[in-house]
Structure 1
Amino acid sequence: MKTRAITGIVFVIVLVGSFLLGPWVFSLFFALIALLSLNEFYGIVDSNSEKISTNRVVGIAAGAGLFGGAILFQMHVITSSVLLALIPLITLLFWTELFRKTGNPFGNIAFTFLGIIYAVVPFVFFYLLGFIDGSYDYQYPLGFLILLWASDTGAYLAGRSLGKTKLFERHSPKKTWEGSFGGLLISLLAAFILSRYFVGLETWEWMITSVIIVVFGTYGDLTESMLKRSYGIKDSGNILPGHGGFLDRFDGLLLSAPLVYLFLMWVV
Structure 2
Amino acid sequence: MNNFIKRTITGTFFVIFIIGSVLLCPWVFASLFLLVSVGGMLEYFRVMARLDLYPARAASLLASILVYAGVVAVMTGLLSPDYLRAGFLIVPLLLIAELFRNTGKPFSNVAASLLGITWIVLPLALLNGFFNPEADRGWIHGGALLGFFLILWIYDSGAYIVGSMAGKRKMLERISPGKSWEGFAGGTVAGLLTAYMISASFLEFSSLEWMLVALVIIIFGTLGDLIESMLKRSAGIKDSGSLLPGHGGILDRFDAVLVAAPFVYLIISFLR
Whether these two folds match at TM > 0.5 is yes
Q: Specify the alignment match of 1:236 in structure 2.
A: 240
Which residue pairs with 1:60 in the alignment?
Answer: 61
| Residue 22 (structure 1) aligned with residue 25 (structure 2) | yes
Local SS of the residue matching 1:69: helix
Instruction: Give the counterpart letter for 1:105 in structure 2.
Output: P
Closer, same or farther: CA 33–149 of 1 in aligned 2, 3 Å: same
Q: Distance in 2 between matches of 1:207 and 1:112?
A: 35
What residue ranges of structure 1 are gaps of 5+ in the alignment? none
TM-score normalized by structure 2? 0.93
- How far 1:192 sits from its partner (Å)? 0.6
Q: Which amino acid aligns with 1:123?
A: L
Give the Cα–Cα distance (whole angstroms) in 2 for the partners of residues 249 and 23 of structure 1.
Answer: 21
Contact 1:132 1:264 in 2 (8 A): no
- Report the secondary structure of 2:195's partner residue: helix
Q: Distance in 2 between matches of 1:65 and 1:86?
A: 9
Q: Name the CA distance, whole Å, in 2 between partners of 1:257 and 1:132.
A: 19
Instruction: Show the counterpart of 2:121.
Output: 120
Give how far 1:32 is off.
1.4
- Amino acid in structure 1 at the alignment position of 2:241: G
Q: What is the letter of the counterpart of residue 97 of structure 2?
A: T
Equivalent residue number for residue 93 of structure 1? 94
Match in the other structure for 1:73: 74
24-33 vs 76-85, greater mean Cα deviation? 76-85
Q: How does 1:150-189 map to 2 (within 5 A)?
A: 150-189=154-193
**Letter of the structure 1 residue corresponding to residue 51 of structure 2:** S
Q: Of 198, 215, 218, which residue of structure 1 is paired with 2:219? A: 215
* Partner of residue 105, structure 2: 104
Deviations 1:11-68 (CA, angstroms, capped at 9, x unpaired):
211111100110110111112112211221111112x133x21111111111110110
Q: Percent identity?
A: 41
Q: Cα distance, 1:134 vs. partner?
A: 7.3
Aligned length in residues? 266
- CA gap of 1:133–1:187, structure 2 versus 1, over 3 A, is farther
Q: Return the alpha-carbon distance in structure 2 between the equivalents of residues 133 and 105 of structure 1.
A: 46
Alignment partner of 1:49 out of 30, 48, 51:
51
Q: Which residue in 2 is equivalent to 1:31?
A: 34
SS at match of 1:143: helix
Q: Is the 8 A contact 1:131 1:137 kept in 2?
A: yes
Kept in 2: contact 1:130–1:141 (CA 8 A): yes
How well do the aligned residues superpose, as a CA RMSD in angstroms? 1.7
Out of 13, 16, 27, the position equivalent to 1:13 is: 16
Offset from partner CA, 1:194-248 (integer Å, 9 cap, x none): 1011011000000011111111111000000000010111111111122111111
SS in 2 for 1:122: helix
- Letter paired with 1:194: I
Aligned to 2:261: 257
Partner of 1:197 in structure 2? 201
Change (3 A) 1:249 1:259: same
C-alpha contact (below 8 Å) 1:97/1:105 kept by paired residues:
yes
Q: CA deviation at 1:133?
A: 6.5
**Residues 126-161 of structure 1: CA distance to partner in whole angstroms, max 9, x if unpaired?**
221124967992111111010001110111111112
TM-score (norm 1): 0.94
Aligned partner of 1:177: which letter?
Answer: W
Q: Tell me the SS of whatever aligns to 1:243.
A: coil
SS in structure 2 of the partner of residue 174 of structure 1: strand
Give me the whole-angstrom Cα distance separating, in 2, the residues matched to 1:55 and 1:240.
26
* 2:75–2:128 Cα contact (<8 Å) kept: no
Q: Per the alignment, in what secondary structure is the counterpart of residue 173 of structure 1?
A: strand
Measured after TM superposition, the shift of residue 77 of structure 1 is: 2.3
After superposition, what is the alpha-carbon deviation per residue over 1:57-104, rounded to whole angstroms, capped at 9, x for unaligned? 111111110110122223332212233334333321011101111111
* Contact 1:55/1:93 (<8 A) preserved: yes
1:246 to 230, 250, 262: 250
| Residues 110/44 of structure 1: CA separation in 2 closer, same or farther (3 Å cut) | same
